[in-house]
Amino acid sequence: MYFLGIDLGGTNIAAGIVDRNNRMVVKTSRKTRVPCPDDEICSQLADAASETLRKAGLAWDDIPYIGIGSPGTVNRETGVIEYANNLHFSNLPLRKLLEDKLGKKVILENDANAAAYGEYKAGALRGAKIAVAITLGTGIGSGIILDGKILAGSNFAGGEIGHTVIVANGRRCTCGRLGCWEAYASATGLIRSTREAMEKDRSSAMWKITNGDPANADGRTAFQAMREGDTAGKTVVNEYIGYLACGLANCINIFQPDILCIGGGVSNEGDPLMIPLKEAVKKEVYSKNSVKQTVICRAQLGNDAGILGAALLGE
Q: How far apart are CA 215 and CA 225, in angstroms?
A: 16
Q: How far apart are CA 139 and CA 189, in angstroms?
A: 8
Question: Predicted confidence band at 64 (pLDDT cuts at 50, 70, 90)?
Answer: very high
Regarding whether 149 and 86 lie in a shared domain, the answer is no
Q: How far apart are CA 264 and CA 272, in angstroms?
A: 15
Q: How far apart are CA 9 and CA 1, in angstroms?
A: 26
Q: 0.75 cut: is pTM over it?
A: yes
Q: How far apart are CA 1 and CA 108, in angstroms?
A: 20
Regarding whether 176 and 93 lie in a shared domain, the answer is no
Element (DSSP H or E) covering residue 8: strand 3-8
Number of structural domains (the chain) is 2
Regarding whether 97 and 65 lie in a shared domain, the answer is yes
Which structural domain range is residue 29 located in? 3-118+304-311
Regarding whether 163 and 77 lie in a shared domain, the answer is no
Regarding whether 205 and 231 lie in a shared domain, the answer is yes
Regarding whether 132 and 113 lie in a shared domain, the answer is no
Regarding whether 159 and 99 lie in a shared domain, the answer is no
Regarding whether 157 and 46 lie in a shared domain, the answer is no
Regarding whether 150 and 63 lie in a shared domain, the answer is no
- For the segment 10-18, the average pLDDT, to the nearest whole number, is 95
- Domain with residue 75: its CATH number is 3.30.420.40
What does DSSP assign to residue 180?
Answer: B
Regarding whether 274 and 141 lie in a shared domain, the answer is yes
- Phi/psi at 109 (nearest 5 deg)? -155, 155
* Tens digits of residue pLDDT in 206-224: 999 999 999 999 999 999 9
Regarding whether 255 and 143 lie in a shared domain, the answer is yes
Regarding whether 189 and 94 lie in a shared domain, the answer is no
**What pLDDT does residue 307 have?**
98
* Tens digits of residue pLDDT in 74-94: 999 999 999 888 789 999 999
